[in-house]
Amino acid sequence: MRRLGVLISLGVLLSVSVTLAACGGSSSSSGTSTTSASGKPLTIGISLSLSGDFSDPGHAAQKGYQLWAKTVNAHGGINGRQVKLKIVDDASSPNQVVTNYQNLITRDKVDLVFGPFSTLLTGPAASVAHRYGYAFVEPAGGGPAVFQEHLNNVFFVQPAPTLNCGDPFVAYIKSLPAAQRPKTAAYPSLDDPFSSPIADRMQKAFEAMGIKTVYKTIYPSETADLTPVVEKYVAKKPDMVVAGTQSEDAYSQVKAMVQSGFSPKYLFLANGANSPTEFPSKVGKKNTEGIFSCGDWFPTSKSNGNPQFVAAYKQAYGGTPFDIDSTSAEAYAVGQLIQAVAKKTGKVDNKTIISSLHSGTWPSVEGNISWNADGSPQGSDMLLEWVGGKLQPVYPPNVALTKPTSPKPPWGG
C-alpha cells in the first residue's frame, strides 16, 4: 500500500506543480479566464490531491470548486470580477501541499486561497495561509489537529467537526433496546489525524454503555494490506466493528472481511463508505448493504442553494443526485461563503472575510454554519447507511429518508 512514504516520494516527483484547471465559465484547463469589464479576475489558489491516496476525494472537491466558479461567473462573478481558479496537485503529500500554498501566495500572488482535502494536509496548509494573513476557508480538514493550531483564519465548512462524525451512530446504538445492542466491539484505525480520533471517541462512548472492547489497533499509514489486521479482530468475533478509516484502508478492510467470510452485526467506517460512487466500485455493490458511515450533506437537503447545486451538478457531470460525492458539495459551499461575504460587505479581501465569518451564521448547501474562534463548526452530522443499494441518511429521524437496518446482512459476494 502507498501512504506517506510513497506520498513523500510522489511529492518530490511532482514538485513542479501543474496548473490543472481554471474556471471562467468554460471547461478549459489552460488557466485562462474571462475578465469582466469592471476589473481583473479574482484569482483563487487551491492545492488538491489529484494523485496519491486522496485522489478520489480530491477529484470530487475539484468538481465542486469548478462548478461553483462556473456558476458564479455565469451570474457576473463576485463584485463584478470573474473568478479564476488556479488548482495545483499536491499528490496527497503534506510536504507538497506546503510548497503549493507558499508558491500560490508568494509567487503567483493569488487573491484568495481555498483549502485542500483531508486534515493531514489542511493543518500545515492553514499555517502557511495564516502566516501571510490569508483566510483559509476549507471543505475537508475537520480533525482535532487543525483546530488545535488555534488559527483565526480557519473555517471548516461542514456542520460539525470531524471528531464528532461517529456521534449519530453512537446515539442510534443507544436508542436500540438493550437486547439488540452489540455486546463486544473492535476498533481498527488508520494512524491519521482524521481517522483514529473518531474511533477513540466512539470507543469511549460505547464502553460507557457497557460494550466490551475485544480488539483495538492503530495501523501505520503505509500499511498496504489490511488482511493481517482483519484476521486478528475476526478471531475475536466482535458483534460490532468501528473502524477509523480513510478511503483505501476502508476498501481493504471490507475486501479482507469478505474474503474471510466474517460479517459483523454492525459495521461503521468513518470514511470511504460515505462515497456513493467510489465505495461500491471498490468493494462490490453487493457488499455495501448494511454498512454505516457519517455524512454532512445529502442531495435532498433544502439547505441554501442545494437544489440549484444538485441541478447544476447533474447538468455538468451527469448521473443522478445520489451519485454526487459530498466532497463536491463541501467544496461548492466554500465558494458560497465567499459570495455571501462579498454580497454583505461589498468587499472580498482576506481581512474582511476573516472578520465577517467570525460573526453570525452563514447559510450554504452544507446548512447554516457558525464557528468558534478556532474555526470548528458548531452543528452535527447525520448517520448514513447503505440500504437497498443506496447510501441514505437513516438517523436522526428528522433527517432520515429510511429507517436504519440491523443486523448487517451477510456479504453479497
Give the pLDDT of residue 221. Answer: 86
pLDDT band at residue 2 under the 50/70/90 scheme: very low
pTM: 0.78
Question: What is the rounded CA–CA span in Å between residue 12 and residue 380?
Answer: 38
Give the pLDDT of residue 16. Answer: 31
pLDDT digits (tens, 9 = 90+) for 6-30: 333 333 333 333 333 333 333 333 3
pLDDT digits (tens, 9 = 90+) for 335-375: 999 999 999 999 999 999 999 999 999 999 999 999 999 99
Least confident of 36-40, 230-234, 261-265: 36-40
Identify the three-state secondary structure at position 245.
coil
When the pLDDT of each residue in the chain is averaged and rounded to a whole number, the result is 90
Length of the chain: 413
Contacts (Cβ under 8 Å, ≥6 apart) of 307: none
Average pLDDT value for residue range 109-123: 96
For residue 116 the three cell numbers come to 485542500
pLDDT band at residue 41 under the 50/70/90 scheme: very high
Contact 263, 256 (CB under 8 A): no
Give the pLDDT of residue 38. Answer: 55
Question: What is the rounded CA–CA span in Å between residue 194 and residue 368?
Answer: 23
Contacts (Cβ under 8 Å, ≥6 apart) of 109: none
**Phi-psi region for residue 215, left (φ > 0), alpha (ψ -120 to 50) or beta?**
beta
Identify the three-state secondary structure at position 67.
helix
Q: At what angle do helices 55-74 and 306-317 cross, to 10 degrees?
A: 110
Which phi and psi (to 5°) does residue 386 adopt? Answer: -80, 110
pLDDT band at residue 405 under the 50/70/90 scheme: very high
Average pLDDT value for residue range 327-338: 97
Question: What is the sign, positive or negative, of the torsion defined by CA atoms of 341, 344, 348, 349?
Answer: negative
Instruction: Give burial (CB, 10 Å; 0-12/13-18/19+) of 315.
Output: exposed
Give the pLDDT of residue 192. Answer: 86
Q: DSSP class of residue 94?
A: H
Q: Output 406 or 9, whichever has higher pLDDT.
A: 406
Give the pLDDT of residue 23. Answer: 36
Average pLDDT value for residue range 387-394: 93
Contact 34, 73 (CB under 8 A): yes
pLDDT band at residue 199 under the 50/70/90 scheme: very high
pLDDT digits (tens, 9 = 90+) for 118-171: 989 999 999 999 999 999 999 999 988 999 999 999 999 999 998 999 999 999
Give the pLDDT of residue 123. Answer: 95
Buried residues in 52-90 as b, exposed as e (16+ CB within 10 A):
bbbbbbbbbbbbbbbbbbbbbbeeebbbebbbbbbbbbb
CB atoms within 10 A of CB 265: 17
Give the pLDDT of residue 322. Answer: 86
Average pLDDT value for residue range 314-319: 96
Q: Where are the alpha helices (DSSP H) in 14-107?
A: 55-74, 94-102
Q: Edge-to-edge, what's the strand order for the sheet holding 390-395?
A: 212-219, 184-190, 240-243, 266-269, 291-295, 382-387, 390-395
Q: Output 376 or 34, whichever has higher pLDDT.
A: 376
pLDDT digits (tens, 9 = 90+) for 51-104: 998 898 899 999 999 999 999 999 999 999 999 999 999 999 999 999 999 999
pLDDT band at residue 4 under the 50/70/90 scheme: very low
pLDDT band at residue 313 under the 50/70/90 scheme: very high
Which phi and psi (to 5°) does residue 86 adopt? Answer: -115, 100
Identify the three-state secondary structure at position 188.
strand
For residue 50 the three cell numbers come to 489529484
Nearest Cα to 243, choosing from 297, 140, 358, 166? 166
Question: What is the sign, positive or negative, of the torsion defined by CA atoms of 41, 46, 49, 55?
Answer: negative
Contact 222, 272 (CB under 8 A): no
